[in-house]
Amino acid sequence: MSDSIDIINAFALLTNFVLLPALSYGSQLALGALAVTLVYAILRFSNFAQGDSMAFGTMIVILLSGFMISKDWTISGFPTAVLAIPIAIIGTSIYMLTMDRLVYRHYRRIKIKQSIVGITASIGVMFITGGIVRFILGAKPQRFSDGERFIFSVREFKAFTGLEQGIALKTSQFLTITFAILLVAFLFYFLQKTKTGKAMRAYSDNKELALLSGIDPDKVVQITWLLVAALTTIAGTLYGLDKGFSPLQYHLLLLPIFASVIVGGIGSPLGAIAGAFLVSFSEVLLTYAYKKFLIYLLPLSMHPNSLVQLIGTEYKYAISFVILVIVLLVRPTGIFKGKVIVDE
């Protein structure tokens, strides 16, 4: 029966062009948003350097994987960039700990409005980081993915199922979703079960009380930066494998990441993940052209002439901002009630 096949085709189309891209983009955003929310929970400021830090981590990955490819240290079919991630995390950690030592630590030690000074300082760090990345890699977009592009391609899928519309699973999408699940699971285990994780949550909840119970603030902060470095590098690399690397693009990621964090409730890890998927699905759903989808579902007489696109692709970033504004108006604390810390 052609009707049921049409419906299956329509949903295959939607899976390929909406579900998978939105899932992987959402996972990338979620990792970035978790990094921002961790910094916020522990250090009490919004880290404007997040986007450029992701570019920094990705830069190390690009340089390393280039070196590894030239030495032929690769596994066939597997993206070399992923193999370079562990060393890149170490590099990014060193960079972040240095920045913390040189810039942020001073302001923690003196009594001062953390949020404003933190933002100003992180903007300074953002420019230094962005400048370094552009100096080393240049400002032009580039791709660094190698190995197999697809786990299964559209053609293989079509041959397998006999459908008119195919679904392709890109290696980068598969890796992104797997990595995100593993990393989030690890992070929640770490925060809920381990002693250090509990110390971090205590510190975030009530700094004075945590200090009284003998928690070492410097250690908490250092562990935070290590986690942030790992999240940042992995998020950056996965985004780059998926969509290519460009310093400007990474800088602009700041907007959807902030939107995710605030929508979910700033300082709440679960909220950051929920917010990220809300933002990514809205972006993809609103900018997708539904013409083909509707042609499958509607009778011939009602076929649309236009693209049936709700918002032009060029306003992708505007969507996250609009979501942000609506949430700020309706529920400023975010979906999962986040911290409502008045400036300390």
Binding site for another protein (CB under 8 A): 45-46, 48, 102-103, 106, 113, 115-117, 119-121, 123-128, 130-132, 134-136, 138-139, 251-252, 254-255, 258-259, 262, 266, 310, 312, 314-315, 317-318, 320-321, 324-325, 328-329, 332, 340-343
Quick check: helix, strand or coil at residue 341? coil
The CB-of-94 to another protein minimum distance in angstroms stands at 18
| Rounded-to-integer distance, Cα 239 and Cα 236, Å | 5
Q: Which is nearer to another protein, 120 or 206 (CB)?
A: 120
Torsional sign, CA 86, 88, 94, 100: negative
Torsional sign, CA 296, 302, 306, 308: negative
The CB-of-329 to another protein minimum distance in angstroms stands at 6
The answer to whether 163 and 5 have CB atoms below 8 angstroms apart is yes
Q: Which is nearer to another protein, 17 or 104 (CB)?
A: 104
Q: Which is nearer to another protein, 79 or 271 (CB)?
A: 271
The answer to whether 317 and 252 have CB atoms below 8 angstroms apart is yes
Helix (H), strand (E) at residue 151: strand 150-152
Q: Which is nearer to another protein, 57 or 79 (CB)?
A: 57
Q: Which is nearer to another protein, 128 or 215 (CB)?
A: 128
| Rounded-to-integer distance, Cα 230 and Cα 123, Å | 21
The CB-of-29 to another protein minimum distance in angstroms stands at 15
Tell me how far apart the 2 most distant CA atoms of the chain are, in Å.
Answer: 73
Q: Which residue is associated with the tokens 């992987």? A: 24
The CB-of-204 to another protein minimum distance in angstroms stands at 16
| Rounded-to-integer distance, Cα 256 and Cα 241, Å | 19
Helix (H), strand (E) at residue 246: none
The CB-of-124 to another protein minimum distance in angstroms stands at 4
Burial zone of 76 (CB within 10 Å; 0-12 exposed, 13-18 middle, 19+ buried) = exposed
Q: Which is nearer to another protein, 105 or 149 (CB)?
A: 105
The CB-of-97 to another protein minimum distance in angstroms stands at 16
The CB-of-130 to another protein minimum distance in angstroms stands at 6
Quick check: helix, strand or coil at residue 343? coil
Q: Which is nearer to another protein, 75 or 112 (CB)?
A: 112
